[in-house]
Amino acid sequence: MKKLFTILLILAIIGLGVAASTLPPTDIPATTGTNTLPPTNKPTPTDTNTLPPTDIPPTNTNSLPPSPSSTTAPPPDPFKNMTISCKNAIVEFFTSKDINTCLPLLPLLTANDSIKMVTALVQFANSKCKDPRCNADAINKGKENIKKGCLENDIKKDHNKVATMALLGTTLYSPIIESLCFQVSKNDPKFCFADTLSKLFTAPEPPFPSVFGFLDRVIFCTPTTFCTDCNHRISQEVFNFISDPNHKDAIETLSLFNITQVELTQFKLSTMIKCGSKFLKSNDTFPGVCP
């Protein structure tokens, strides 16, 4: 059930758990050594006519001091430890003419922590949500090529993160892109996924040891924190797509992560227990139905 919550939260709110561990540490102690100053007991010259040494090299030259070596780490290689067939399938998909203009996801593939990922998602939504969606045939072709090149070794055997994201992303492209582009309201243009993460991240932790980590905030927060109109629309978008008989491959892909129809039904029931029976069925605006 924990795995089900994790994957569906990612799909439903593009929810990358913004854990505090991704922030740089702020408690590094300052240097406390007391002998860091140079010694001051060197003898001073007693002969006032002593001239300074003349073998100091001239300073007024045209040679520049050596520049300090850069400490900036190179961007992470998203294809590290990936088979060549899988890499080729993913690169061919993202660089194809039909996909590159509507789905420029390289910043997402190279984002190496949750903060950068959320920032990249917001930038993507700002730039692409008003544009036409990617061609369905191009998405399906990419999905089949990624499945052929990555499924057996990179996904099933090695559990490669980028390969897994590529397959999930192409299989569930439609509900993901629509959920990503939902805005809170006409008067509040903030994107729903960012609003949800903000609410959950500031929700109080349960008063007992963590069970599911960040997901504890989803499970144990008050209904008004999670049962928002944003999550109502996102949940409907995701579940309606997965339940559509024309999208059987969505269930097949989720089954690779041991998520079956039974677990999807359990998740629906859990959501309705949290937010009320109408949350996944009604087209009304929340929290009007569930104040």
284 and 201 in a common domain: yes
Instruction: Specify the residue for token string 């059987």.
Output: 248
Tokens coding 124: 């993507």
pLDDT given at position 135: 93
Residues 140 and 232 in one domain: no
Q: What is the pLDDT of residue 38?
A: 44
206 is a domain residue:
yes
How far apart (Å, rounded) are the C-alpha atoms in residues 235 and 223?
15
Per-residue exposure over 244-279, b if at least 16 CB sit within 10 Å of its own CB, e if not: eeebeebeebbeebebeeebbeebbeebeebbbeeb
User: Which residues form the domain of 199?
Assistant: 188-291
Angle, to 10 degrees, between the axis of helix 173-181 and the axis of helix 192-201? Answer: 80
Q: Residue 33 falls within a domain, yes or no?
A: no
| Pair 156, 216 in one domain | no
Q: Do 154 and 216 lie in a common domain?
A: no
Residue 279 lies in a domain: yes
Is 19 among the domain residues? no
Same domain (yes/no): 206, 288: yes
| Domain finish residue from 171, 204, 220 | 171
Its pTM surpasses 0.85: no
Given 143, 171, 199, which residue is the final one in a domain?
A: 171
162 and 212 share a domain?
A: no
User: Shortest CA distance to 191 belongs to which of 132, 236, 235, 125?
Assistant: 125
Predicted pLDDT of residue 73? 64
Number of domains in the chain: 2
Q: What pLDDT is attached to residue 255?
A: 87
Identify the pLDDT of residue 52.
47
In a domain, 97, yes or no: yes
Tokens (6 digits) for 289: 């139905």
Q: Are residues 165 and 253 in the same domain?
A: no
Whether residue 246 lies inside any domain: the answer is yes
Instruction: Answer yes or no: do 195 and 291 share one domain.
Output: yes
Stretches where the chain sits below pLDDT 70 are 1-76, 105-112, 287-291
- Whether 118 and 147 share a structural domain: yes
Which residues, other chains included, contact 91 with Cβ-Cβ below 8 Å and sequence gap of 6+? 79
Residue 117, pLDDT score? 80
